DNA sequence: TAGGCCATCTGGTCCT
DNA sequence: AGGACCAGATGGCCTA
């Protein structure tokens, strides 16, 4: 077991140093993580046992005492094959770990551009995705209407479909005034809000929002206001957050979509939550002069997500706004 | 203690 | 053949 552990460690270190290693989650921590999780690398131990048992089987087969099994003949697990298999498996595990770390990095970066970011109380993955969707929706509103959102409506938008704790967290964040550190986000690398404070001091309840005006939106809207694009390659998040550790995305950009294309809107501009969510990309003619635009279009007119999802408010939203929310996330 | 969340391992499938 | 991606299984940690 210990032997295998060392082997795995070496292999892990052979993997290209990903960004999570730069951030102090280096291989040492990874190994510690493994130590903390005996089940994980223990699997290799299992493999070893398997290995042994296979060899025993081979020996038995050699003895010829066991009745022959029907079916496709299993390729004999020679020692060399076993070695190769194990090496392949260990390599694949390392790759998978790296891949998942990358995924988590991306999720972390997503958390950072969310209106509510706390180092101390991280949003769960699913809540991050939900909040992100709501946030995009809110930003779309700002872009489309050209006006800043009213506090209450904004908080409600952000909290749709979120769990009660997350709703509290978000609402608490937006309730905090500039003096509470919201504006310091760019200066201090840490938090946009301290969730521990917000969670304790603020109990967001969807319908009966506390007054007076919902938090201090200006600070958040600084974050929200559409930034002038210098070129097509610039994203509104281009400089945000400044301490973003992941290198800027250099891949092909998503073709511009009509703002209203992603949400079915009612006449008053609010999302029509009765309709199933359908993703219909709309092309907006743009100049490709910047050279950044990805020329391969989406499958125009072909809904990519046509999953009718019922996301009625769950038990979390105890007061139940009574709204139905369509979401791309199914639980 | 149950449930939620998470990291990891693993085997299968698809693609290059 | 090997890598990417995925989903299921497993086990640890944390919190209500």
Q: For A14-58, how does the pLDDT look when each residue is reduced to its tens digit (9 = 90+)?
A: 333 333 443 333 333 344 344 433 333 334 433 333 334 443 333
Q: Do residues A23 and A104 make contact, with C-beta atoms less than 8 angstroms apart? A: no
Distances in Å between the Cα of A91 and the Cα atoms of A32, A52, A170, A189 are 19, 21, 41, 35
pLDDT tops 80 at residue A65: no
pLDDT tops 80 at residue A86: yes
Residue nearest the C1' of C10 (CA based)? A39
Question: Which ranges constitute the DSSP H helices of chain A?
Answer: 2-14, 19-22, 27-36, 38-63, 79-112, 125-145, 151-159, 164-175, 195-201, 217-224
Determine the distance from the C-alpha atom of residue A260 to the mean position of all C-alpha atoms in its chain, rounded to a whole number. 23
pLDDT tops 70 at residue A201: no
pLDDT tops 50 at residue A245: no
Strand B nucleotides within a 7 Å radius of protein CB atoms: 4-12
* Mean residue pLDDT across chain A: 50
Gap from A149 CA to B15 C1', Å: 46
pLDDT for res A145: 82
pLDDT for res A182: 34
pLDDT tops 60 at residue A124: yes
Tokens 């005034």 label which residue? A177
Considering only residues 23-62 of chain A, list those whose CB is below 7 Å from strand B: 30, 33-34, 37, 40-41, 43-44, 46-47
Label residue A280 by pLDDT band (50, 70, 90).
Answer: very low
d(CA A38, CA A42): 5
Neighbouring CB atoms inside 10 A of A172's CB total 26
Mean pLDDT of A304-317: 30
Label residue A71 by pLDDT band (50, 70, 90).
Answer: very low
d(CA A75, CA A103): 36
Query: Counting Cβ atoms within 10 Å, is residue A66 exposed (0-12), middle (13-18) or buried (19+)?
Result: exposed
Residue nearest the C1' of B11 (CA based)? A89
Gap from A92 CA to B13 C1', Å: 15
CB of A317 nearer than 7 A to strand B: no
pLDDT for res A88: 85
Determine the distance from the C-alpha atom of residue A87 to the mean position of all C-alpha atoms in its chain, rounded to a whole number. 31
The set of residues with CB closer than 7 Å to nucleic strand C is: A 36-39, 88, 91-92, 95-96, 99
DSSP H or E stretch at residue A76: none
pLDDT for res A97: 87
Mean pLDDT of A220-231: 40
Tokens 């130590």 label which residue? A35
Determine the distance from the C-alpha atom of residue A267 to the mean position of all C-alpha atoms in its chain, rounded to a whole number. 32
DSSP H or E stretch at residue A319: none
Q: Do residues A207 and A173 make contact, with C-beta atoms less than 8 angstroms apart? A: no
pLDDT for res A74: 53
pLDDT tops 70 at residue A139: yes
Please give the span between the terminal C-alpha atoms of chain A, in angstroms, as a whole number.
Answer: 38
CB of A6 nearer than 7 A to strand B: no
pLDDT for res A213: 25
d(CA A15, CA A23): 16
pLDDT tops 60 at residue A234: no
pLDDT for res A150: 66
Gap from A318 CA to B3 C1', Å: 19
pTM, 2 dp: 0.52
Please name the nucleotide lying closest to A20, CA to C1'.
B7
């Amino acid at each position: 077991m210990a032997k295998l552990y060392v082997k795995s460690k070496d292999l892990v270190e052979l993997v290209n140093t990903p960004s999570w290693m730069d951030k102090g989650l280096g291989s040492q921590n990874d190994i510690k993580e493994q130590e903390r999780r005996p089940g994980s690398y223990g699997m290799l131990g299992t493999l070893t046992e398997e290995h042994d048992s296979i060899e025993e089987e081979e020996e038995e087969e050699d003895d010829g005492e066991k009745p022959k099994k029907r079916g496709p003949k299993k390729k004999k697990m020679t020692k060399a094959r076993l070695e190769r298999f194990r090496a392949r498996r260990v390599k694949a595990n390392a790759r998978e770990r790296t891949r998942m770390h990358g995924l988590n990095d991306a999720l972390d970066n997503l958390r950072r551009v969310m209106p509510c970011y706390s180092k101390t109380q991280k949003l769960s993955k699913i809540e991050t995705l939900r909040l992100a969707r709501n946030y995009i929706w809110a930003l779309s509103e700002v872009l489309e209407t050209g006006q800043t959102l009213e506090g209450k409506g904004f908080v409600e938008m952000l909290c749709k479909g979120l769990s009660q704790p997350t709703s509290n967290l978000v609402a608490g964040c937006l309730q905090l005034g500039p003096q509470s550190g919201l504006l310091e986000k760019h200066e201090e690398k840490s938090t946009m809000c301290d969730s521990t404070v917000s969670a304790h001091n603020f109990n967001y309840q969807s319908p009966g929002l506390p007054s007076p005006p919902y938090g201090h939106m200006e600070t958040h809207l600084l974050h929200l206001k559409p930034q002038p694009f210098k070129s097509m390659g610039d994203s509104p998040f281009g400089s945000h957050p400044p301490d973003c550790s992941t290198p800027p995305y250099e891949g092909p950009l998503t073709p511009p979509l009509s703002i209203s294309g992603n949400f079915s809107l009612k006449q008053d501009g609010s999302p029509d939550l009765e309709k199933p969510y359908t993703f219909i990309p709309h092309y907006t003619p743009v100049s490709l002069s910047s050279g950044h635009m990805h020329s391969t279009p989406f499958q125009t007119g072909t809904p990519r997500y046509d999953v009718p999802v019922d996301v009625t408010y769950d038990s979390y939203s105890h007061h139940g706004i009574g709204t139905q929310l369509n979401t791309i996330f199914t639980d």
